[in-house]
Amino acid sequence: MNGTLHSVDLLVLLAYLLLVLLLGVWMGRGQKGLSDYLLGGRDLPWWAILGSIVATETSTATFLSVPGIAYFGDLRFLQLAFGYIIGRVIVVYIFLPRYFEGNLFTAYEVLDKRFGLATKRTASVVFLVSRTCADGLRLFLAALVLERILGWSMPLCIVTMGIATILYTFFGGIKSVVWTDCLQFVVYIAGGVIAGLVIVSRIPGGWDELATFASDNNKLRVFDFSWSFIEPYTFLAGVVGGTFLILGTHGTDQMMVQRYLCARSERDAGRAIILSGFVVLLQFLLFLLVGVALACFYDRFPPTSEFRADSVFATFIVDELPKGVGLVGITLAAVFAAAMSTLSSSLNSSASSAVSDLYIPFRRTEATSSHLLFVSRALTIGFGIAQIGVGIVGMYLARSVVTNVLDIASLTAGLLLGLFALGVLTKRVGQNAALIGLLFGLSVLMWIKFMTSIAWPWYALIGASSTFAAGLLCSFFTQSDQPVQHVLEKPGSFDGK
């Protein structure tokens, strides 16, 4: 179907993109300052934040690549979701209270109060670089489908999707991002369900044949209790590795923390965080079962060439879905929704971190609210352009995109988690020791990634523990640089200014 898209499907896709843009502009009306643009006035309902959290961590890597995992394997990927739930509970009881102690804009302001400005800037830069790289790769994955459908060049597809995301994020700010995330969540779940039903309808024996195939080929296996640090989908890697990954991504990543700060209260934010874990589990199960159905379908109708993990579902969407009835358009809208929900969140949180953690501290005079709003919007465009650049570079990567994305997330999540742990769990560690610990943790992770075969779910645990241990050890040998305030001291002690 290269280069051809039925007018009905094209109309459905364009209608969805127009709806997202109009919703973004509408939600952005009446914004008066930085708090409105970056935090939605701190007045968003918990269920909208829940939808935004799930949509934000669901990218095209989930929508397209997770079915490929079950296509080539089974349901063991689901073990990660158990760790994700445990990690969320810990985030609510350990990290969340810190973020509601004062009028904070970013996660890294906590590090400023605990260690100093240099630590906050370092953590912010780590976040900005890793977020831009990971989400640029997600943009590339979404563009793969667009390339196959319209026959455009890959750079043009990447630029088109990037500009569409920049536009509604630029106009609407975080309020637009959260509400469009909720819409996009509904769209990509509907797309996954519809595609799954179509796959089953195309299997000659329907549900009975699918059940027999899944049983005969052990496709419904969920648990793996083997003690392997090389295999990524074991129970231990899922529960322990998944827990630490979530502690890093949901406990220290500005893209998630920004959503918590938009809530009306700490209780609302906690409810959204914990319940989102169960929604993610069900979502993983849906996409994995789609992968099992795809394995059955292509077993009965063998493909002409071998698949990559992230191309199985995309190929079915492009080549097998009925044309001219809107199903292709809906499913493509789901691909766009999965991509844009993460990318828009990334752009807004990156602008938030850059303004609050880097730009404002460098100014010698106090900036007006209107000026900071202008800078935030300009940075939204800048980070969007940077992600487009990374997406174009992604064309030359040989590995599965989902692996690259998760590798990057695991590496940085562990480092920042170790840094936060030094602030929360220790009193004697100062800024010099914390930064040395961060550099040591980065060195250890680089060695683990490029010189060993240890699976990616363990990266966050290794990065956090090595950063924490090195920082604590260095505190006994470096000159005392006692922080202004310990993170666990009395509530309300952070003014966030």
Instruction: State the DSSP string of 29-69.
Output: TT--SHHHHHHGGG-B-HHHHHHHHHHHT--HIIIIIHHHH
The distance from CA 486 to its chain's CA centroid, rounded to whole angstroms, is: 30
Q: What is the pLDDT of residues 63-76, one digit of tens each?
A: 878 999 999 999 99
| Backbone torsions φ then ψ of 44, nearest 5 degrees | -100, 140
CA atoms within 13 A on the CB side of 204: 5
Cα–Cα distance between 85 and 132 in angstroms, integer? 26
Please tell me which of 9-18, 69-78, 402-411 the model is most confident about, judged by mean pLDDT: 69-78
DSSP string, 201-215: HHSTTHHHHHHHHHH
pLDDT band at 486 (very low <50, low <70, confident <90, very high): very low
191-197-200 Cα angle (round to 5): 140
pLDDT band at 402 (very low <50, low <70, confident <90, very high): very low
Q: What mean pLDDT is predicted for residues 122-131?
A: 87
Q: How far apart are the first and last CA of the chain?
A: 55
pLDDT at 273 over 90: yes
CB 413 within 8 A of CB 253: yes
CA atoms 213, 215, 216, 222: torsion sign? positive
Q: What is the pLDDT of residues 100-118, one digit of tens each?
A: 876 566 678 778 888 888 8
Q: Which CATH class is domain 7-398?
A: mainly alpha
Q: What is the pLDDT of residues 314-343, one digit of tens each?
A: 888 878 888 777 788 888 888 778 778 778
Cα–Cα distance between 113 and 121 in angstroms, integer? 12
Longest dimension (CA), the chain: 73
Helices and strands, counts by H and E, the chain: 22, 0
Residue 136's contacts (CB-CB under 8 Å, 6 or more residues apart) are 386, 387, 388, 389, 390, 391, 393, 394
Beta-bridge partners for 263: 44
Cα–Cα distance between 425 and 39 in angstroms, integer? 28
**Helix runs in 354-400, H state only:** 360-362, 369-393
Tokens 């630490």, residue located: 244
Q: What is the pLDDT of residues 294-303, one digit of tens each?
A: 999 999 998 8
Cα–Cα distance between 338 and 342 in angstroms, integer? 7
pLDDT band at 24 (very low <50, low <70, confident <90, very high): confident
Q: Which two tokens stand for residue 81?
A: 């979701």
Q: What is the pLDDT of residues 159-211, one digit of tens each?
A: 988 888 888 788 777 888 888 888 889 988 988 899 899 999 999 989 999 99
Instruction: Give the other-Cβ count within 10 Å of 370's Cβ.
Output: 11
Tokens 């026959």, residue located: 151
Task: Provide the whole-model pTM.
Answer: 0.85
The distance from CA 361 to its chain's CA centroid, rounded to whole angstroms, is: 27
CB 440 within 8 A of CB 491: no
Average pLDDT, the chain: 84
Report which of 15, 20, 2 is spatially closest to residue 330, judged by C-alpha positions: 15
Least confident of 139-153, 161-175, 371-385, 464-478: 139-153
DSSP string, 256-291: HHHHHHTBSSHHHHHHHHHHHHHHHHHHHHHHHHHH
pLDDT, position 492: 37
Cα–Cα distance between 247 and 261 in angstroms, integer? 17
